[in-house]
């Protein structure tokens, strides 16, 4: 008999334990307007340990915005029970009817739940409360060709929120620039006023093949008039409001969150056409190059500097795609180009980005007479005609005032810089047996001048060896500028130390510096730029890493002075 009761109690205990391990799913509402969030609650009666429900099946038709956890412990007549809850905030990706699938947990699973999406409307006319749409003006561009991405939000409510952001994971293959301020308007749909917000972006694909545009997220809120205790509270369509109300979610039951997602679009990106013939790839509808001189009518004089500014402008091109114009070598004419400066703006007359490169050039003639400043040309691909064109600055010929030969002091200096020329000059300066005392004195003076200049050059060379690699002042740029300016500064630095103008993004810049820690920071900046997010950037650390990485690259290259010491 005792054995019977023991078996009975064991079975009863196991039965009670089995019953205690319940796992159920429920939602706070079964009808959800498209774009609004709802809460899926997963409840487990028991001790879950380290186990977590598998939420992966939800991602097909829903966006998971947050997962909250709750725990309750109860004791009734000495019996202790545990209840764990996972509160999952979801927003539907589809309209119509969606099924919340079975959610697995341990050896249990929840039952599916049917959700009606987008059926609740502003009125019986069937106008949805919220809608998000996106379009592009070209689904088959060339690589790096500009396309215009238009995002449209529609609502029948007084909607507020943050600026839409692009998914950083999907934007690595794109350069994205907003080209318009949000434009608001309204329209009448079946007798219902619908407010509309439109934003345009310029997007540049960075590789050929099938690319997807990044997903775009909009997070906002509105006041439910049926639950609002303050009906006079003013709201209007404004996608860039402060966060004071966003921070109040959960306090005011009238505040309803809205989460909208614009799904990716497939873009077939064409490679660079063969007609480009391996030239710099610059797809545009218009490229112009102009110049301006320090004086309206430039005057050249032997040994003196003359300044010229060149401006290269392209429509529908990101600033990082602009090439630095190549300068042809000219006998007896020294050319010293400064580091280019870039800027980008939106066209006032079209949905285009306009980028410009400005570069100052110093010319120093070495001989009098006539001299020809060579032609400067930039090849580009004309998207209107499907032909290769050239933006050209014609060659110009000028008269150079001064002696036909370089002054002696200049020849002495050049001799010091060129050992072969030095030997030739020393031979030319040896006095003949018939030369008088005055010529001997002149030769001695020249020799002293050469010796002084030679010693100065050796000292300068030693200073160059001791001088560390130039440091990019990222800390100052970060203090006074934006992440875009930091990105542009890093790209220009990478171009400078690598002597390559093909560096177009932070990933390519990271390859130049070849520093893993720096590469991670640049990736974080890149992701923040595309996602439209702020990051806590350690400017001092970034400056230090760039300095160290730049030094290691510069040490591998032969140092070369851009200007003679005389003109520094």
% the chain with pLDDT above 90 = 29
Which tokens belong to 26? Answer: 């429920």
Give me the mean pLDDT over the 196-216 stretch. Answer: 93
Ramachandran region, residue 209 (left: φ > 0; alpha: ψ -120 to 50; beta: rest) = left
* H helices present in 350-482, as ranges: 408-417, 419-429, 437-466, 474-480
β-bridge partners, 216: 166, 262
Output the CA–CA distances (angstroms, integers) from residue 341 to 1, 136, 492, 497, in the order listed: 97, 31, 9, 16
Give me the mean pLDDT over the 276-295 stretch. Answer: 92
Model confidence at 541: pLDDT above 60: yes
Name which of 105-114, 348-357, 436-445 the model is least confident about.
436-445
**Confidence label for 523 from pLDDT (cuts 50, 70 and 90):** confident
Residue-averaged pLDDT of the chain: 76
The DSSP-derived string for 506-567 is HHHHHHHHT-HHHHHHHHHHHHHHHHT------HHHHHHHHHHHHHHHHTTS----SS-GGG
Best-predicted range by mean pLDDT (76-90, 91-105, 437-451, 542-556):
91-105
- Range(s) for CATH 2.60.40 in the chain? 21-117, 130-269, 279-401
Please tell us whether the domain made up of 21-117 is placed in CATH 2.60.120. no
What pLDDT sits at residue 553?
Answer: 67
Give me the mean pLDDT over the 15-41 stretch. Answer: 75
CATH class name, domain 279-401: mainly beta
% the chain with pLDDT above 70 = 69
What pLDDT sits at residue 169?
Answer: 66
Question: How far is it, in rounded angstroms, from Cα 139 to Cα 202?
Answer: 13
What pLDDT sits at residue 148?
Answer: 96
Higher pLDDT, 74 or 223: 223
Coil, strand, or helix at residue 56?
Answer: helix
**Confidence label for 433 from pLDDT (cuts 50, 70 and 90):** very low
β-bridge partners, 342: 357
What pLDDT sits at residue 3?
Answer: 58
Give me the mean pLDDT over the 307-336 stretch. Answer: 93
Model confidence at 39: pLDDT above 70: yes
**Is 316 exposed, middle or buried, given 0-12, 13-18 or 19+ CB atoms closer than 10 A?**
buried
What pLDDT sits at residue 434?
Answer: 45
What pLDDT sits at residue 499?
Answer: 74
Model confidence at 125: pLDDT above 70: no
Selecting from 3.40.1000, 2.60.40, 1.25.40, 1.10.10, what CATH number does the domain 130-269 have?
Answer: 2.60.40
Place of tokens 């949805």: 128
Higher pLDDT, 39 or 562: 39
Question: How far is it, in rounded angstroms, from Cα 412 to Cα 92?
Answer: 79
Model confidence at 354: pLDDT above 90: yes
**Confidence label for 223 from pLDDT (cuts 50, 70 and 90):** confident
Name which of 258-272, 303-317, 378-392, 493-507 the model is least confident about.
493-507
What pLDDT sits at residue 530?
Answer: 57
Model confidence at 465: pLDDT above 50: no
- Cβ neighbours of 153 (radius 10 Å): 26
Higher pLDDT, 220 or 410: 220
Higher pLDDT, 364 or 451: 364
Coil, strand, or helix at residue 454?
Answer: helix
Output the CA–CA distances (angstroms, integers) from residue 375 to 48, 51, 315, 403, 423, in the order listed: 76, 72, 22, 26, 36
Model confidence at 237: pLDDT above 50: no
Question: How far is it, in rounded angstroms, from Cα 175 to Cα 94?
Answer: 28
Residues whose CB is less than 8 angstroms from the CB of residue 354 and which lie 6 or more positions away in sequence, other chains included: 313, 314, 315, 344, 345, 346, 347
Model confidence at 512: pLDDT above 80: yes
What pLDDT sits at residue 361?
Answer: 94
* Residue whose C-alpha is closest to residue 175's, from 129, 206, 212, 136: 206
Give me the mean pLDDT over the 351-369 stretch. Answer: 92
Model confidence at 281: pLDDT above 50: yes
- Cβ neighbours of 34 (radius 10 Å): 22
User: Are 199 and 178 spatial neighbours (Cβ–Cβ below 8 Å)?
Assistant: yes
**Confidence label for 226 from pLDDT (cuts 50, 70 and 90):** low
**Confidence label for 325 from pLDDT (cuts 50, 70 and 90):** very high
* Pairing between β-strand 113-117 and β-strand 31-32 as defined by DSSP bridges: parallel
Give me the mean pLDDT over the 141-156 stretch. Answer: 93
Coil, strand, or helix at residue 7?
Answer: helix
**Confidence label for 440 from pLDDT (cuts 50, 70 and 90):** low
User: Are 185 and 155 spatial neighbours (Cβ–Cβ below 8 Å)?
Assistant: no
What pLDDT sits at residue 126?
Answer: 58
Higher pLDDT, 515 or 323: 323
pTM of the model: 0.55
End-to-end, the C-alpha distance of the chain in Å comes to 109
């Amino acid at each position: 008999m005792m054995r019977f009761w023991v078996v009975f109690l064991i079975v009863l205990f196991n039965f009670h334990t089995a019953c205690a391990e319940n796992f159920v799913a429920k939602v706070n509402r079964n009808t959800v307007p498209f774009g609004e969030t709802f809460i899926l609650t997963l409840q487990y009666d028991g001790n879950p340990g380290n186990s977590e429900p598998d939420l992966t099946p939800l991602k097909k038709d829903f966006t998971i915005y947050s997962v909250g956890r709750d725990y309750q412990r109860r004791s009734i007549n000495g019996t202790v029970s545990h209840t764990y809850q996972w509160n999952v905030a979801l927003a539907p990706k589809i309209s119509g009817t969606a099924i919340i699938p079975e959610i697995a947990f341990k050896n249990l699973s929840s039952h599916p739940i049917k959700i009606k999406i987008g059926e609740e409307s502003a009125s019986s006319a069937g106008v949805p409360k919220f809608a998000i749409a996106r379009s592009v003006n070209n689904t088959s561009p060339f690589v790096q060709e500009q396309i215009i991405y238009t995002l449209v939000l529609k609502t029948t409510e007084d909607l507020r929120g943050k600026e839409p952001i692009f998914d950083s994971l999907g934007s690595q293959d794109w350069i994205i620039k907003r080209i318009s301020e949000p434009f608001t308007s309204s329209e009448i749909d079946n007798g219902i006023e619908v407010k509309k917000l439109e934003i345009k972006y310029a997007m540049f694909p960075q590789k050929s093949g099938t690319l997807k545009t990044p997903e775009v997220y909009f997070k906002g809120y509105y006041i439910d008039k049926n639950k609002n205790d303050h009906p006079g509270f003013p709201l209007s369509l404004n996608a860039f409001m402060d966060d004071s109300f966003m921070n109040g979610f959960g306090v005011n039951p009238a505040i309803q969150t809205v989460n909208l997602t614009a799904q990716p679009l497939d873009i077939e990106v064409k490679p660079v056409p063969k007609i480009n013939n391996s030239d710099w790839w610059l797809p545009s509808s218009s490229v112009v190059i102009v110049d301006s001189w320090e004086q309206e009518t430039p005057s050249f004089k032997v040994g003196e500097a003359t300044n010229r500014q060149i401006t290269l402008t392209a429509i529908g091109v990101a600033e990082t795609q602009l090439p630095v114009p190549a300068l042809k070598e000219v006998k007896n004419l020294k050319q010293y180009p400064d580091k280019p400066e870039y800027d980008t703006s939106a066209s006032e007359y079209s949905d285009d980005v306009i980028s410009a490169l400005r570069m100052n050039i110093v010319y120093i003639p070495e001989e009098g007479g006539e001299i020809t400043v060579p032609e400067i040309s930039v090849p580009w691909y004309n998207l209107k005609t499907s032909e290769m064109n050239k933006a050209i600055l014609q060659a110009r010929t000028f008269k150079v005032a001064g002696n036909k030969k370089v002054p002696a002091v200049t020849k002495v200096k050049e001799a010091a810089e060129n050992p072969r020329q030095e030997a030739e000059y020393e031979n030319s300066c040896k006095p003949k047996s018939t030369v008088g005392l005055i010529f001997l004195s002149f030769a001695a003076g020249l020799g002293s001048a050469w010796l002084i200049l030679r010693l100065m050059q050796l000292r300068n060379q030693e200073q160059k060896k001791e001088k560390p690699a130039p440091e990019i002042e990222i800390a100052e740029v970060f203090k006074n500028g934006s992440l875009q300016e930091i990105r542009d500064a890093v790209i220009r630095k990478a171009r400078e130390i690598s002597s390559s103008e093909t560096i177009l993004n932070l990933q390519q810049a990271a390859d130049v510096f070849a520093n893993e820690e720096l590469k991670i920071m640049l990736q974080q900046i890149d992701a923040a730029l595309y996602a439209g997010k702020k990051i806590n950037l350690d400017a001092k650390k970034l400056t230090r890493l760039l300095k160290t990485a730049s030094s290691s690259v510069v040490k591998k290259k032969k140092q070369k002075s851009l200007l003679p010491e005389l003109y520094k």
